[in-house]
Amino acid sequence: MSDFLFYTFSFITLGSAALVVFNKNAVNAAMFLLLSLVGVAGLFVLLDAALLAFVLLLVYAGAVVALFLFIVMLLDTTPGSLKPFKKATIAASTLGGALLVLGILSATRRGLLSSSPATGDAPALKDYAEQLFTTYLLPVQIVGFMLLIAMLGVIVLSKKMISKEAAVGSQDEGGTA
């Protein structure tokens, strides 16, 4: 049964991740990203890491995808305005993908990526909380502050675009009268 669930969640994750990359509509891509994150959370549950699954759904699926959807809706991106990729972009992405595959293969051969479980007991929720509120408190606060700045920047940019469109519209109407 666990093999079936593993393959199901893996298929959901990989299929929806591919649809995120190849989808031309940004809102649909965000929804497929949400589905991909749900698949990863399911894989975490299969690994008995319910806390990671919960945090992934709460933080990424709940906050980041919602923020991304608001940004997409505020910017009003249309699929027709996309430009084709340049040759340098295609070459750089191919090189980056090749380096990623080479790094994974190298780490696998050296034994850095092991499929055996770690020795010792799994850390308790108290250990995660202690690390989060002591060691990693500043990075978490900085990331939250950066997300707030990004959201405010998008709001300011969208307001400027709306006011420019209104000014252009009023000039057109004034010139025809």
pTM: 0.54
Amino acid (one-letter) located at 52: L
Distance in angstroms (rounded) separating the CA atoms of residues 2 and 76: 42
pLDDT in tens, 64-73: 777 777 777 7
How far, in Å, CA of 77 to CA of 28, rounded?
12
The tens digit of pLDDT for each residue in 19-28 reads 998 888 888 8
Chain segment 23-72, per-residue pLDDT in tens: 888 888 888 988 999 999 999 999 888 888 888 888 887 777 777 777 77
